[in-house]
Amino acid sequence: MNLLPGTPVTIFAPAGAVKPEELKGGIGLLKKWGLKVEIPADLWDRERYLAGPTLKRAQRTRSYLEEGRVLWAARGGFGTLALLPHLEDLNWKKPPLVLGFSDLTILLLFLWDRYRQPSWHVPTVNFLPHLEPRAQAQLKALLKGKSPFRLKGRTLREGQAEGVLLGGNLTSLVSLLGTPYQPDLRGALLFLEEVNEKPYRLERLFTQLALAGIFSEIKALILGDLSGLSPSEYLSFLEELLPLDLPVGYSFPFGHLSTTQGLPVGVKGRFKAQKEGALLFQIDPEGN
């Protein structure tokens, strides 16, 4: 990613409804970074808890993608899933770039699975002001292509693997299972995070992934923040669900955290889990 000063960035809302005051801080930060923020007039549309009727949200999202815009999601919530049937057979003039997390996981995975188009798992605009100064600086460096991703965590199962980095929000991924939009995760480094879920709900979600055969297809599992829970609240059931030969890391700095770091979706990475700690980093074009 290389968003130089002056790059036009369109704020879009494919999911939950937003209010101007919710985005003020995030938009101000993007402008401070030198980006040219574009705010469509229909950004503030609302129908129930959604940012407008499904068809209208789908049509404008399709138009933005086909125009090859840089799109930064205003917020997550719920609503992206219903757009997918309207985003088939996209024909863009130039590749778009989509940034966001949470419910946007659905669109990020769809773009890779159907079009092999990479995107970025980074905080939505409404979440940007919640980042600590250091996390803001890291994100800014990532946007400008000055700093490849390199994240440290802890090890549950030792091992190492290379593959395409795919993932995002756990609930969003599970919502795709059994649909025509379930992503092909074979050989992937799967990263997952979650927010506002109790331990038993997390266990239900992970159990569904296990029964769907996902953990037998991937090369590694990388866990970020899971609803602010301590590892002791989820590692016990994970150890029962995961294959013994699957490298697994946890407590990585991504998710709904003030210290969260950005990750690409659809970019090749390398994962190393050793007794002293786990590491996830980008593989450059030369394979290093």
Q: What is the pLDDT of residues 99-133, one digit of tens each?
A: 999 999 999 999 999 999 999 999 999 999 999 99
Look at residue 149 in the predicted model and tell me its pLDDT.
Answer: 83
The pLDDT value recorded for residue 284 is 65
**Residues composing the chain:** 288
What is the pTM assigned to this prediction? 0.94
188-234 pLDDT tens trace: 999 999 999 999 999 999 999 999 999 999 999 999 999 999 999 99
Most distant pair of Cα atoms in the chain: their distance: 52
Distance, CA of 210 to chain centre: 21
The pLDDT of residue 145 = 80
Query: In this structure, how many other beta carbons lie within 10 angstroms of the beta carbon of residue 30?
Result: 21
Phi and psi based region of residue 78 (left: phi greater than 0; alpha: psi -120 to 50; beta: remaining): beta
Neighbours of 85 (CB within 10 A): 12
In order of start, what are the domains of the chain with their CATH numbers?
Answer: 8-143 (3.40.50.10740), 150-282 (3.50.30.60)
pLDDT of residue 92: 92
Query: How much is the pLDDT for 194?
Result: 97
Q: Using 70 as the pLDDT threshold, list the residues of the chain that sit under it.
A: 147, 284-288
Question: Is there a contact between 87 and 61 (Cβ–Cβ < 8 Å)?
Answer: yes
- Structure tokens belonging to residue 42: 């229909």
Residue reference for tokens 């040219």: 36
> What's residue 33's pLDDT?
94
Cα–Cα distance between 228 and 190 in angstroms, integer? 19
Predicted confidence at residue 287, as pLDDT, reads: 44
Asked if residue 151 lies in contact with residue 255, where contact means CB atoms within 8 angstroms, the answer is no
Q: Which two tokens stand for residue 41?
A: 């007039």
* 229 class by beta-carbon count within 10 Å (0-12 exposed, 13-18 middle, 19+ buried): middle
In 3D space, the residue among 226, 212, 101 whose CA is nearest the CA of residue 167 turns out to be 101
Average pLDDT, the chain: 94
Query: How many Å from the N-terminal Cα to the C-terminal Cα in the chain?
Result: 18
